[in-house]
Chain A
Amino acid sequence: MNKISLKKILKDPYLVIGGIIMGLILLMIIVGFFWTPYEPTKMSASEKLQGISLRHIMGTDNMGRDVFSRVMYGSRVTLLIAVGTIIIGAGLGTIIGSLTGYFGGMFDEVAMRIIDALFAFPSILLALVIVSVFGVGWMQLVVSLGIAFVPSFARIVRGEVLRCKDMDYIQNARLQGVGNFRMIFVHILPNIKGVLASSILIGFNNAVLAEAGLSYLGVGSQPPYASLGRMLSDAQQYMFTRPSYVMCPGIVIVLMVLGFAFLGEGIKRWE
């Protein structure tokens, strides 16, 4: 395991580019907490569907709301949902994957078949089911996306645990009397943190996209508050009359995904 040093990070173009993009987006979000150019929900009948100008740097939407303010707010919502999704998905997935991979046997067999079934189940459908049972809201969205993300993490972690499990150093540790849970979480997990970190970042991508997709379908955050996907869905009718309205949130989604992808790739190439 290599030491983390700033010098080495700066040498890796993936990490640098990913870091810059994510830094900009985070900056935008953090500033958005304290200050936005306009109130994101404030409408203005006289300034509907304006183009890019100095007054509104991303233009305005069909109700005269400032798109840039809404993007600042919306990317916060999107990022929060993505983070929540990953915490649930990666957390549960890691626990399930490491337990099944480590203990193996019938338990592993049964758990993995359940995971397979979950894999085959479309995440959008799952989200729709959860939303229709528990009502619309971003908590439901996070939970349903989180559950949808469990299988892929469980798979990845299980594979890695299987790889590590028969290594000599694990046998050695067992010889010294290390218990099962200490073995999994103290001895094995640190060895797979590289793989886990990059798959978490790739997972972030998918979470951002899935959130955008689900909000686009109308099961995500509710108007008048925006998330990036919701904005896209609102903007689609004005795609040809005012392209900037669609482009701006779209580009922010693309940048967010790209930033995570670069970071993930950089971390993957780290070792």
Chain B
Amino acid sequence: MEKEAVLKVSNLNVFYKNRKRKLFTPKKLKKIQALYDVSFEVEEGEVLAIAGESGCGKSTLARAIVGINKDYSGTIWQKYADPQMVFQDPYNSLNPAKKVGWLLEEPLKVDKSRKWTKDERKKRVEEIMKEIELPLNMLERYPSQLSGGQRQRVCIGIALMRNPKLLIADEPVSALDVTIQAQIMELLRNLHKKLGISIIFISHDLRVVYQISDHVMVMRYGKVVEYGKTKDVYKNPQAEYTRQLLKAAGIVKKETEL
């Protein structure tokens, strides 16, 4: 049952500008490498989890895929254009000067592939509000008047506005408290089932990863340490680092309960 891939990443090396550089530093010091030879595939309609400690390059990978960071070598092949992304911090990823309704409408206003009329936009916004389970009267609110969970729902809604086939969720729940985390995870799972989109789910919390993902990829120091089916990786971790992570999450000894 080999499914088609929506995203193929091979030999990806990503660089950052060295911000400390002076005007005339030698060329090799101008960049800092953040990812080394990362390769993986995402199948149609699956959830791939990327796990690893802070600073191991998870977000860098996400940013390279969606094209925020364009400085990379290697290839990123995508079946569909316009992957969307949900950011880690819902307090920073919504423009504080705009109302929720405006924010949701914006992706449609700047859509280059087709022109949306005012009525279409309004209808689409209402559809999405239903999907992300927020009441319509919140369209008139500013982000500062919403809770963290509600903001993250709005972020997901903005990302879903133009029907992307690939959604990258960069630690979407790590800034939220545990009960809200569960709600957002539930929402993501429902949306995944309903819309059939592929999701790359980035998290440092292996327990969260276990709930949602089909495949898991463990990263460390910008390299892929382990890749496999979630169940296999959790039952039978190959790399020492994965074992450490599982232990830190308290999963290894509870294996039988899961």
Contacts and interface: CB of A to CB of B under 8 A. Distances in A.
Interface of A: 1, 167-179, 182, 187, 190-191, 193
B142 A1 contact: yes
Interface in B82-109: 82, 84-85, 87-89, 92-98, 106-107
26 contacts: A1-B96, A1-B142, A1-B144, A168-B88, A168-B89, A168-B92, A169-B95, A170-B95, A171-B93, A172-B93, A172-B155, A175-B67, A175-B68, A176-B110, A176-B158, A177-B107, A177-B110, A177-B111, A177-B112, A179-B110, A187-B95, A187-B98, A190-B95, A191-B95, A191-B96, A193-B97
Given A176-B107, A177-B112, A168 B68 contact: no
B61 to A, nearest CB: 15
- Which of the listed residues B106, B142, B144, B161 has the most CB atoms from chain A within 10 Å of its own CB? B106
A169 B90 CA distance: 9
Interface in B143-182: 144, 155, 158, 161-162
Contacts of B67: 175
A162 to B, nearest CB: 13
Nearest to B168: A175
Contacts of A174: 68
B127 to A, nearest CB: 17
A190 B97 contact: yes
Contacts of B144: 1
A178 B94 contact: no
A168 B142 CA distance: 17
A172 B158 contact: yes
B95 A173 contact: yes
A175 B66 contact: yes
Contacts of B82: 177
Nearest to A177: B110
Contact of B85 (A1, A172, A182): A172
A175 B112 CA distance: 13
Contacts of B96: 1, 169, 191
Given A169-B92, A175-B66, A1 B110 contact: no
A58 to B, nearest CB: 45
A178 B110 CA distance: 6
Contacts of A179: 110
A171 B93 CA distance: 8
Contact of A167 (B92, B158, B161): B92
A168 B98 CA distance: 14
The 9 A-B residue pairs whose C-beta atoms are closest, nearest first, are: A190-B97, A168-B93, A176-B107, A168-B92, A169-B95, A168-B87, A191-B97, A177-B110, A178-B110
Contacts of B107: 176-177
A259 B95 CA distance: 32
- Which of the listed residues A167, A174, A176 has the most CB atoms from chain B within 10 Å of its own CB? A176
A168 B93 CA distance: 5
A194 to B, nearest CB: 9
- Which of the listed residues B67, B97, B107, B161 has the most CB atoms from chain A within 10 Å of its own CB? B97
Contact of B87 (A1, A171, A193): A171
A169 B68 contact: no
- Which of the listed residues B67, B84, B88, B98 has the most CB atoms from chain A within 10 Å of its own CB? B98
Nearest to B142: A1
Given A1-B142, A172-B87, A177-B82, 9 more contacts: A167-B92, A169-B94, A170-B95, A172-B85, A174-B68, A176-B107, A178-B110, A190-B98, A191-B96
Nearest to A176: B107
Contacts of B162: 176
Interface string B62-87: 00001110000000000000101101
A179 B112 CA distance: 11
Interface string B200-241: 000000000000000000000000000000000000000000
Contacts of B97: 1, 190-191, 193
Interface string B98-135: 10000000110011100000000000000000000000
A167 B90 CA distance: 11
A62 B120 CA distance: 72
A163 B106 CA distance: 22
